[in-house]
């Protein structure tokens, strides 16, 4: 079945540590890729997106993600996390092959310890 996988369900880091959250998808063809973040008590908002071009995309708050087509991956990274990055992170995929739908991973809960 086509899917989006986020293998890290819960990550705990100390401030200033580096972050990498994995996202793999199983859809073929051209894909649009997204990372969303949900801070405690807030609504989902876009961190970054990839449609085409440079596979390394930069988003808000120092986040970046790399699209590796051969690995069907779109991992999220941040060199140095802060306490305020504590949130839930969702990877999402959309393509013409999936119709007018987005497919979301199950999310990764990140806790940053001061």
Pairing of strands 87-95, 108-113: antiparallel
* Residue 104 Cβ vs other proteins, minimum distance, rounded to whole Å: 4
Piece of 15-23, 66-74, 79-87, 105-113 that binds other proteins (CB under 8 A):
105-113
- Three-state DSSP at 26 gives coil
32 lies in the site for other proteins, by CB under 8 A: yes
Rounded CA separation 8/50 (Å): 21
Rounded CA separation 54/61 (Å): 19
Q: Which residues bind other proteins (CB under 8 A)?
A: 9, 30-32, 34, 36, 42-46, 49, 51-52, 90, 92, 94-96, 98-102, 104-107
């Amino acid at each position: 079945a086509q899917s989006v996988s986020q293998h890290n369900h819960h990550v705990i880091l100390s401030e200033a540590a580096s972050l990498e959250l994995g996202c793999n998808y199983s859809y073929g063809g051209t894909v649009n890729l997204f990372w969303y973040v949900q801070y405690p008590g807030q609504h989902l908002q876009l961190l970054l997106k990839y449609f085409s071009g440079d596979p390394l995309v930069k988003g808000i708050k120092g986040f970046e993600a790399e699209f590796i087509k051969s690995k069907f991956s779109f991992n999220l990274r941040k060199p140095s996390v802060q306490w305020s990055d504590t949130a839930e992170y969702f990877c999402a995929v959309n393509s013409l092959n999936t119709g007018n739908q987005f497919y979301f991973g199950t999310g990764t809960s990140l806790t940053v310890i001061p």
